[in-house]
Structure formats: structure tokens, C-alpha cells
Structure 1
Amino acid sequence: MTGKTDTRRTLADWLAWQQSLHPRPIDLGLARVRQVFARLQPGYRPPLTLTVGGTNGKGSCIALLDAVLRAQGLRVGAYTSPHLLRYNERIRIDGREAGDGDICEAFARIEAVRDGVSLSFFEFATLAALDLFARAGVDVQLLEVGLGGRLDAVNLIDADAVLVTSIDIDHKEWLGEDRDSIGREKAGILRAGRPAVVGDRDPPRSLVLRARELGARLHCLGRDFDHRRQTDGWCWQGWDGELDGLPLPALPGRQQLDNAAAVIAVLRCLAPRLAVSTAALHQGLATVRLPGRYQLLPGTPERLLDVAHNPQAAALLAEHLRRNWPGRRVLALFTAMADKDIEGMLTRMGEVVDVWALAPLAGNPRAASSERLLTAFERAGLPRPLHGFSTVAAALDALESMAGAEDLIVVFGSFFLVAELLAGDGSAA
């Protein structure tokens, strides 16, 4: 493919080609992507940049920031991953997905200056997002770290402030076996003298020490800011005062108050450069949307979809079920990627699930095999799940045939699984 003819390629053509271009789907490091970006955007002057890293809650925090800042009247670019239904979801400007044509043109510009440098699928996406945000003249760009932080492609931009969400063990082969090793990688997005907000009540010591070494202005949940429930909402409490009478975030889940408190903290850190009115804050909290997170699909029985794919997220999902569906019979449709802590997820959800079924993800090279999943159930001390289905739809049909009108079907374990269910249901938002 060459820069002169690439604009005739469809988005699907581009994505298929990118997946075959680089020898490894994940290849952490900034040298290659930085080299290409310098040629793609010479003399680049970034808009105000907020980078969001962490293990769980990144998507929620980006969605909250996007909703609040757009309510303030700012032009916002948001880059997230992975997507659920459409690649275009990864790149949004003013709340709208980038069009196929715009993304293809960005890819063509990248290919025209790549000059033989091999780029991964994620690096192409990151460069395209930064290029489109620069051309659109956004006021603020929100960048979600894809994996880790220190060597992730978004870290080529020096953020004006960073938000690190809760941290758990995930991607052990890339980030390390314990929270301290993972925290060290997450801390790579911090910058000297700039604000860093941590939405984890017990942040890894390595992250705190790195912030101290750099001289980053660290603000931690539970130490420098927090939240308190009120009769009709909640109160943000911070180093510079309180905000009373805030509406609860429109995103379901107890953890969303932690996320919202961290979002307010990072916005307060950037004042007065980034002024956000009380009205914009209220509007953003009340209107934020994010598919695939505790998303309830109507019907008999009801189906709850969640992209939980590590033990911490599974524990939060179990708590959500206990709080909102106490005493209800729960049937779970589950699968996971082979590189995940599958036993950890099953253990967290074991006490709240009555019937399990395995969903096959045919053709996904990262998906755990049936044998790997069945072994995980055995190790977690759980009964053998229903399995051997040829499609996700067949597995769901089997659960629905067993479920009563008052039962709840929960679908979790992988973005890919939730995406397939949403695509079949037609519920994109």
C-alpha cells in the first residue's frame, strides 16, 4: 500500500492490512511511533491534554470528562480502546465518532510518512486520533492508555494532567506479576511538576514514590479528596473546599462515585486554565453514557452485560449483583482471553452465580480454549459449566431456556463477548 492510492481503500481494508503489518499485535515502546509522529505532525503544538491510565475505570473516566467538558462548550477529542461495535468508537470529536473517510485519510497520511517503520494496530490508531484531533482544532484531548503507561503509544504526548484509576493485576506478561510492578508502569505517564490524580484508595507504593521523584503534584483518593453520599446526590470533598448537591453519575455501579470524584479532582487541578462551571459539571454527570458497563437489556429474563475482564472488575460486578438483585437466581454467560486471570474472575463471581455457560469466540486467536476454561472452573472449585456450543447465540439460548421470568442472565468476561451480544441485540448505546 502506498500513500498515493490508499484513500481508495475502505476502513475494513486498512484495518485488515494493519493487523498483518507488524509481527506482534502488542509491541510496547515509543521510538517507532514517536519517529513517525514527528513526520506526520511537524511543529506539533498539542491542545490541553488529559491522559487516563489504570486498570479499571479508564473508559468511565474518559466518558465523564468528555460529557462535562462538552457541557462546558469545549471542543473535545476523546481517544479510547478497545471498541465494542465499530472501530470508529475509538476516535470521537464533540461526542461523534470519526467517519470512515476521515479515518482512512488519516491512515493514508500516516502511511505516506511511515517510510518503512513498522507500526502496530494500536499505534496506527493512536497516530490517527492525534492527527484528527490536531486537524479539528480541539480545545482538549482525552487520551486513554491502552496498556500499562510508560511504553504505551499515547505516552508520546506530555499530558498537562493525568488521572490514574484503580490498579489491579492484569496483563502480567507485559506489566509484571504484582501491583507494585504494575504501578511502576502506570506511573510512566506522570510528568514533572504537573498534576496527577490517583483514583485508587491504596495506590501501589511504586507509583507514589515515582511521583515524589518526579515532583509531580499528586492528589490521592481518600487522602487529598473524597466523596460523601447525600440524600439526593453526593458531595465532593477536596483540598480546596467542597461541592454539595451533585447529581449521581448516570453510569451504574458503586465505583462510579470514585471515578467521578477523581474526574472532578483532575478538573480542579487545571483551574483556572480549564474553567468548568457548576452547571456543566451537573449536566455532564447526569447525561454521561457508556455502553457495555452494567448495561441492562430489557426482556424476560433481563440480561446484564458488563466488560469486566479481571478479578477486581469481577468483584465489583458481584457486589453490584448483591446490591441490586438480592436473592435472584443468576445465570452467567462467560468467556475470557487466554492471558487473563480466569481463576481470579471465577472466584470473585462464584458465590453469586447459580448456573454457568461457556460462550465460544470462534476465530479469536486470543480467546481461551474450552479446555483452558474448564480447567479454570475446576481450580476455582466451581461446578462444570455448560459448554460445547457452536456459537454465542446458542449458548445464550440454552441459558434463556433454563431461566425463569424473575431470573437474571449476566454476560461478562471479555469485551469481545459483550460486543457480540450487543451486535446481535442491536443495542449500541
Structure 2
Amino acid sequence: MSTLPTTLPDWLALLESRHAEVHINMGLERVRQVKERLNLAFSCPVIMVAGTNGKGSTCSMLEAILLRAGYKVGLYIKPHFLDFNERARINGDMASDGALIASFNAVEAQRGDIDLTYFEFTTLAIMHLLAGAKLDVAILEVGLGGRLDAVNVIDADVAIVTSIDIDHTDFLGTTRDEIGFEKAGIFRPGKAAICSDPVPPPTLIAHAEAIGADLWLLGRDFNYSGDKQQWNYGGREQRRNSLAYPSLRGANQLLNASAALAALEVLRFELPVGAQEVRTGLVVVELPGRFQVLPGRPTVILDVAHNPHAASALAQNLGNMGFHPYTYAVFGIMQDKDIDGVVAPMAQYVDHWCVANLPSPRAADPETLAATLAALPLGDAKPGERSVTTFADPAQAFANAMSRAGENDRIVVFGSFYTVAGVMAARKSSHH
């Protein structure tokens, strides 16, 4: 038995080295066995959130509202931008290295000869950490799909599916019907199953009904309405009126907020939440990298949009921002994404593309990307006012955009978590 790492970076390096070859190993049997050996169980309500886009926003809104209501809240959310610790939060604070190491040791001690992927191991460790933290409520974000995601070895009291769109086709299928079935895998018999996608695939509805889940559909069981100033939520038995718009900007945020309020309606007896706590929670909620507008000039927008559904929401948000003479895009993306579908809605807004390579073997080649972008229709741009340049990494691409942009221009960083994380890290180091 070799000695185990004593620091978090060493632990993460060990986990990465163990499973360099198996990125996603489908099937939950191994995870379930280790979970049972750990006696891993939550003694509080568990809210689980899956979906193509909007998972992080919905989790963050729930966390913000429940913290305002005075509850002890645990959150598992992915991925991280700068520190692995961002994935585990207790009462709004990141878990300490020491707490994570203790849970890594616990999983390792019970794993025996069972092989776990990096994602499975870290998921079990963080759920172990949260389960032992004497929480009032746990919020768990599902990584990929739902049915076969490691988080799904826990039975949620309330399961939310935010949106169903085409993203990880290699693993989840190529149609909304196939993907909807995968996401519906987090539903449980007799438990609330909330779907805030306005057009849920028939497979999701059929699965919920087949297992006897209590299905909440947008427009049937809960809905929202609003004007310029405020909005209202209506559920089966609960109404919430004159709510402020969520501080997370964007077209889909009322869908996400409505799903969060439906979950709170389901849990209204176990976790009562007052009107003021809902209002304040929605106003203060923050989520890095989701249409995050940084203070200062030129305006910098960070958005992890990496599929067509998210990119069209980002484009819509850019269109609602008011006038900027020029828009620079710092853009890098994974090769396996629908690249044409991501850049198409953005093309009309971007004048200057700063294309970055990303620190991943799956990164799209910048030269190939540049050729794709150079061939896009010009839109409103005058000839000579469009440019496409390539860079070795997001930090260099961002530095170039900053050096060229005027103070009334804007820079939008998008295409991948790696793109946004690279710029966040560069900004952090330049501020020190």
C-alpha cells in the first residue's frame, strides 16, 4: 500500500493519473458499491438538478434563497474555474482542503479493488463530505445526463430537469428524446419531478409516469408571468408575487427561477421560506461565468456557452445590452461540440475574433476555427473592420483584445469552461 497524498493538489493529480484512459465509464454499479460501503446517506432533503443548460443557475438560486432563510445549505456544483474547492460549498463557503482530503481518504479506504473514474471518486467524496456536515438541505448538480451520472446513486426528494438540448452526443444520444430519457433518470417513484423546459420530450413525461414520479410541468403545474418591473410565480398551491428579476441576466433565468420556486413549494413544510427571503435570494445570487458582466471598461462578459442553445441565449443577451462600437470575442471550444451551431448566432455581434487554443487534447485547432470564422457572412461590419487572429491560450487572446478594444467597446469570452477559466486566471494574476 503506497502512502496516500497529504495535499489536495497531489490528491487530484493522483486521481487524474489513475484514469487517464477512461474518461467516462458508464454504469453505476461500482459507484453504488462504494456508496454502500461508505454508508453514504443524507439525513436532510436532497434537491438534484440535471439539464443541458441552466443547472448551475438553478442550483445557485436555490442556495441563495435557502441561505437567506437561515438554513444550513450544502451544494455540489461543477466544474471549477480556479480551485477544485469551488465544487463543494457549505453555507456559501468553499470546502477546505482538509475537509476534502478527509473525504478522499474515506472513499479510498472503502474503494478496495473497485476502479473509479476521477469524476466518480470526487463525486463520492464530496457527497460524503456534505452528508456528514449536518445540513438542513443538500443541492446536488448532475454532471452528464442523469441516469448514469455518479450523483444519481443518491435518491433525491426533489429532482429538477432544467433544459433538454443536444450537447454530449457521444454519450447521451443525438435527439432530444434520447437525451430527455437520460435526464429523467434522476426522477424517483412518489417524489417530485420538476421540468422547466417549455417543450419537454415525450420520453421524459412517459418515464416519469411509468415510474410513478410526481411530475411538475411548466405551464401545467407551475408557471410565471411578468412585466418590465417584476414577475410572479404560480404553483399548484403557492403564489409568489412582485418578485425582482434574478441578478443572473438572460433570457432563460425565469425558467430556472420558476423551477427553483417549484422545488421550494414541494418542500414548503420541511423548509419554509418567506417572501422576503425569496426576493433577496434572487437579487443577490451570483454565478461565475454565466453572462457575468465584469465591472470597468471596456465591458467584459464571461459566458461558458458551448452549445447552440446556450450560444443563442448569449447572443440574445448581447443584443439587449445597448450600443458598443466594436465587439471582440475571445473564443476557444472543444472539437466535439457543434461549432457551426455555436458561432452562427454570435456572428452578427462579433467584429474581431481572438481565437484561443485550450489546454485539453479535445480542444479545437485554432487555425481550423479561424478559417471557419473568416468564412462567416460579414453582417453589418464594414469591409476591413472584421478580423480573426489566433493565440496559444485564452490569456494571450484576452490580452490582445484588451490592448485593441476602446473603452466603449466590449469583449465577450465564451466557448468553453477552459476559455473562461483561462481568462479568469489571467485577470487574477494581473491584479496581484
1:370 matched to 2:366? The reply is: yes
**Among 247, 263, 267, the residue aligned to 1:266:** 263
Q: Are the counterparts in 2 of residues 68 and 283 from structure 1 also a CA contact under 8 Å?
A: yes
Aligned to 1:142: 139
User: In 1, Cα distance between the equivalents of 2:81 and 2:378?
Assistant: 29
**Among 393, 396, 407, the residue aligned to 1:394:** 396
Q: Are the counterparts in 2 of residues 321 and 352 from structure 1 also a CA contact under 8 Å?
A: yes
Aligned to 1:334: 331
Moved more, 367-376 or 148-157: 367-376
Q: Are the counterparts in 1 of residues 370 and 388 from structure 2 also a CA contact under 8 Å?
A: no
Q: CA RMSD in A?
A: 2.1
Question: Alpha-carbon deviation of 1:276?
Answer: 1.6
- Which amino acid counterpart does residue 202 of structure 1 have in structure 2? V
Q: Are the counterparts in 1 of residues 373 and 388 from structure 2 also a CA contact under 8 Å?
A: no
The residue correspondences of 1:25-424 to structure 2 (distance < 5 A) are 25-41=23-39, 44-230=41-227, 232-326=229-323, 328-361=325-358, 363-374=359-370, 376-377=372-373, 386-424=388-426
- Which amino acid counterpart does residue 106 of structure 1 have in structure 2? S
User: In 1, Cα distance between the equivalents of 2:42 and 2:425?
Assistant: 39
Residues 123, 402 of structure 1: alpha-carbon distance in 2 compared, 3 angstrom cutoff: same
Per-residue CA shift, 1:213-254, capped at 9, x if unaligned?
A: 112111122332221224542111222252211122121112
Question: Alpha-carbon deviation of 1:397?
Answer: 2.9
User: In 1, Cα distance between the equivalents of 2:390 and 2:256?
Assistant: 39
Residues 382, 160 of structure 1: alpha-carbon distance in 2 compared, 3 angstrom cutoff: farther
- Which amino acid counterpart does residue 75 of structure 1 have in structure 2? K
User: In 2, Cα distance between the equivalents of 1:114 and 1:98?
Assistant: 22
User: Structure 2: which 5+ residue stretches go unaligned?
Assistant: 380-385
- Which amino acid counterpart does residue 109 of structure 1 have in structure 2? A
Per-residue CA shift, 1:326-368, capped at 9, x if unaligned?
A: 464211110111221111101121122122120122x422211
Question: Alpha-carbon deviation of 1:325?
Answer: 2.7
Aligned residues: 423
- Which amino acid counterpart does residue 370 of structure 1 have in structure 2? P
Aligned to 1:425: 427
User: Structure 1: which 5+ residue stretches go unaligned?
Assistant: none
Residues 281, 380 of structure 1: alpha-carbon distance in 2 compared, 3 angstrom cutoff: same
- Which amino acid counterpart does residue 150 of structure 1 have in structure 2? R
User: In 2, Cα distance between the equivalents of 1:321 and 1:247?
Assistant: 21
User: In 2, Cα distance between the equivalents of 1:75 and 1:309?
Assistant: 33
Aligned to 2:382: none
State percent identity of aligned pairs: 46
Q: Are the counterparts in 2 of residues 336 and 368 from structure 1 also a CA contact under 8 Å?
A: yes
User: In 2, Cα distance between the equivalents of 1:327 and 1:231?
Assistant: 23
Q: Describe the SS at the equivalent of 1:387.
A: strand
Q: Are the counterparts in 2 of residues 301 and 407 from structure 1 also a CA contact under 8 Å?
A: yes
For normalisation by structure 1, the TM-score amounts to 0.93
User: In 2, Cα distance between the equivalents of 1:322 and 1:368?
Assistant: 27
Moved more, 397-406 or 171-180: 397-406
User: In 2, Cα distance between the equivalents of 1:67 and 1:388?
Assistant: 39
4+ aligned runs moved over 4 Å, structure 1: 378-385
Q: Are the counterparts in 2 of residues 343 and 379 from structure 1 also a CA contact under 8 Å?
A: no
Per-residue CA shift, 1:124-168, capped at 9, x if unaligned?
A: 111111111122111211110000000000000010011110111
Aligned to 2:383: none
User: In 2, Cα distance between the equivalents of 1:258 and 1:279?
Assistant: 20
User: In 2, Cα distance between the equivalents of 1:231 and 1:75?
Assistant: 34
User: In 1, Cα distance between the equivalents of 2:350 and 2:56?
Assistant: 26
Q: Are the counterparts in 1 of residues 395 and 422 from structure 2 also a CA contact under 8 Å?
A: no
- Which amino acid counterpart does residue 365 of structure 2 have in structure 1? S
User: In 2, Cα distance between the equivalents of 1:240 and 1:298?
Assistant: 40
Q: Describe the SS at the equivalent of 2:320.
A: helix
Q: Describe the SS at the equivalent of 2:293.
A: strand
- Which amino acid counterpart does residue 363 of structure 2 have in structure 1? A
Moved more, 224-233 or 166-175: 224-233
Q: Are the counterparts in 2 of residues 164 and 197 from structure 1 also a CA contact under 8 Å?
A: yes
Question: Alpha-carbon deviation of 1:199?
Answer: 1.0
Q: Describe the SS at the equivalent of 1:324.
A: coil
User: In 1, Cα distance between the equivalents of 2:368 and 2:155?
Assistant: 41
User: In 1, Cα distance between the equivalents of 2:369 and 2:273?
Assistant: 47
User: In 2, Cα distance between the equivalents of 1:165 and 1:277?
Assistant: 24
